[in-house]
Each structure stands twice: as structure tokens, then as C-alpha cells.
A = this chain, B = another copy of it.
Amino acid sequence: MAEVTSRPGGENLLFLTDDQLRKGIEAMFFAYRGFTADPDRILSEKGYGRAHHRAVHFINRSPGTTVNNLLSILGVTKQSLNRVLRSLIEDGLVESRVGKRDKRERHLFLTDAGGALERELSTAQRDRMRGAFRQAGPEAVAGFKQVLEAMMDGDMRRHYARLKETNG
């Protein structure tokens, strides 16, 4: 698989060799560790985990979102999310309000304390991302986002696209 791959168009497809793909896979693995390292440290000090971070992040992004909507974004079962939400509500970081039109629904909001945790976590994660972006430069960042978006499953790409348009 080390030969030059080419297509009718004549473009060089060396970047699609198994070896290049393997490097991409390992880069994703190692980079994701860095991506989560800083929030993980903060969370473990407070007795929370990554699932709490994700819930807090997306509630902050879409205040008033329902449990069901959060489920489809996070891609976990409602039972798994429920456990996390319960602890966040008990600790006063998240508020759950019964829906007005549909009383089955619970609308989720961050409290002031929840907002503070969200800022602490997102600041740490943004600092890491900013360092990487600055080091790599704007063209690299554009490519980074293109590849990541192409790697998503359809459902996730839809969620990503919707959130992209929501300024934070």
C-alpha cells in the first residue's frame, strides 16, 4: 500500500494510504486525551465526571432544552443521563422545570452555580484549544474542522450544524 494512488482526475492521493489513515487514527486517539485532560482534572476534584461536563455544556448552549433533546445530542440512554442530571439538580447546578404546554417534559437550565462550573470547564478546554489553534494557524484550523465534520455520523452532524449557528 505504499504506491502512489491516482484517479482519472490525476490528483495525488498519497494522503489516503493506509499509513496516512493510521496516523490520523492515532492522532485522534492521542489528541482526544489532551482534549479532555484539563476538564477531567477539574471535574474529579469536584466528584463529577465527563458525563456531567457534557450535560452542563449542552444545557448552557441550549437553555430550556428538554431531557429528550439532550438525549439525542449526547447519544446515551435516558437512564444514564438521568443519573447525571439527578446529581446536578441535587447539587443545585441545574434546575428542572415542568413544561407548561406538555407537562411530561422537563426543561433544563443552569443555575448561577451551574453557570460558574460551566465557565470554569469551558475556559480550561478553550485554553487548550486556543493554544492548538494558534500554533497550527487558521488554514490548519479550517482543515481540522472540515475533517471532523466529515467524520461525524449523520445524526451528530445535524446536531453540530444546528449548534454552529447558535452563538455562545
Contact = CB atoms under 8 A, between A and B. Distances in A.
A37 to B, nearest CB: 6
A104 interface: no
A156 B147 CA distance: 21
Interface string A19-56: 11111111111111111010000000000000000100
A146 interface: yes
A136 B21 CA distance: 13
Nearest to A33: B156
A3 to B, nearest CB: 14
A77 to B, nearest CB: 14
Contact of A141 (B24, B131, B153): B24
Interface of A: 2, 12, 14-16, 18-35, 37, 54, 75, 122, 125-126, 128-153, 156-157, 159-160, 163-164, 167-168
